[in-house]
Amino acid sequence: METGSFSAVARELGIGQPNVSRHIASLEQDLGVQLLRRSTRQLTVTPEGQRYYAQARVALDAIARAEADARGQQNPHGLLRVACAPGLGIEKIVGALPEFMSCYPDVEVELRFGDGYVDLVAEGVDVALRGGVLKDSALRARRVGMSQRICVASPAYLERHGTPQHPDDLLRHECIVYTLLAGGGWPFRESQVPVHGRLRMNSLEGIRRAALEGMGIAYLPSWMVMEHLGGPGSRLQPVLSAHAAPPTPLNAVYSAERLPHRASVFIDFVAEVLAATPGLAMR
């Protein structure tokens, strides 16, 4: 479940891939259910396998904590898998990791970057950083920050096309569309506007670059563009600020009944980092 393949497990345990296959087959026979579907190209997890993994992972973490307590080991340890958007991860988390890893030398960190949805159980992820309201009732979340999206454009674009005064004016502008935004439209305080544009991307970093190049109006988290706003020679200007939608929560999401200690201290650490970040701190 956590490595994604039999061969990766074989390398990790040093037991050979056929032995891994036999162990899984024996486990499935004992349980009377199929946990994994194999093909020549991929390995997929059945719903029964996902449930079994989630409950077994909780049990194994509990055993590890009990063993650590018995040995007097209070320091967090083990492999921590974290999923987050590339922009937030690369620009804010990676730069702070040296301090975290210095404080917790027995913790290994694997960061998985992507703008799409991550199934924590199926992909073996301990913590995911997600914006918006939590919809999956099977998950737990802790709020670590707040994020507000704003409309921005380059001075050159606004000089050529004019500055929109109302969200409906966006229907007559070139909007750089984020293809992964739920609903497709841009939410404002009054309503959601179904924007359109000739340029569409699945990357917020790409959209920011396109806005800096004067290719249209972008709808981005304020923290991503703060360094380009304000003062003489600013490369971007905010538009429709009076109509901006309220900030939305940024959550650390996890699936376990009780978090591994390594994940708990990481969430505490991230909350401190974001509290010191303009545009992400909780008000």
- The token pair at 169 is 């004016």
Per-residue model confidence as pLDDT tens digits over 177-202: 998 877 778 999 888 899 999 999 98
Q: What pLDDT shows up at residue 73? A: 57
Q: Is residue 210 part of a domain?
A: yes
Select from 177, 148, 153 the least CA-distant residue to 238. 153
The answer to whether residue 283 sits within a structural domain is: no
Q: Cite the DSSP H helix spans in the chain.
A: 6-13, 17-31, 47-71, 86-88, 97-103, 120-123, 155-161, 204-212, 222-225, 261-275
Domain of residue 41, CATH code: 1.10.10.10
Angle between helices 17-31 and 6-13 (to 10 degrees): 110
- pLDDT value for 185: 87
The answer on 193 and 125 residing in a single domain is: no
Same domain, 120 and 84: yes
Measured distance CA(104)–CA(185) in Å, rounded: 42
pTM over 0.85: no
CATH number of the structural domain spanning residue 131: 3.40.190.10
* Residue 185 shares a structural domain with residue 236: yes
For residue 281, tell me if it sits in a domain. no
Does the residue 282 lie in any domain? Answer: no
Domains contained in the chain, number: 3
Residues 130 and 159 both lie in one domain: no
Place of tokens 């077994």: 56
Same domain, 64 and 110: yes
Judgement on whether residues 170 and 192 belong to the same structural domain of the protein: yes
Secondary element (H or E) of residue 219: strand 218-221
Q: Which residues of the chain fall below pLDDT 70?
A: 40-41, 65, 68-74, 133-138, 256-258, 283
Q: Is there a domain that residue 133 lies in?
A: yes
Asked whether residue 184 falls in the same domain as residue 98, the answer is no
In a shared domain, residues 108 and 231: no
Name the amino acid, one letter, at 178.
Y
Q: Which domain holds residue 231?
A: 149-243
Please report the pLDDT score of residue 269 as a whole number.
92
pLDDT computed for residue 99 by the predictor: 93
My answer on whether 234 and 223 are in the same domain is: yes
Indicate if 258 and 202 belong to the same structural domain: no
Q: Do 259 and 181 belong together in one domain?
A: no
pLDDT at 136: 60
**Residue with tokens 């210095």, as numbered in its chain:** 102
Q: Residue 280: inside a domain, yes or no?
A: no
Same domain, 262 and 123: yes
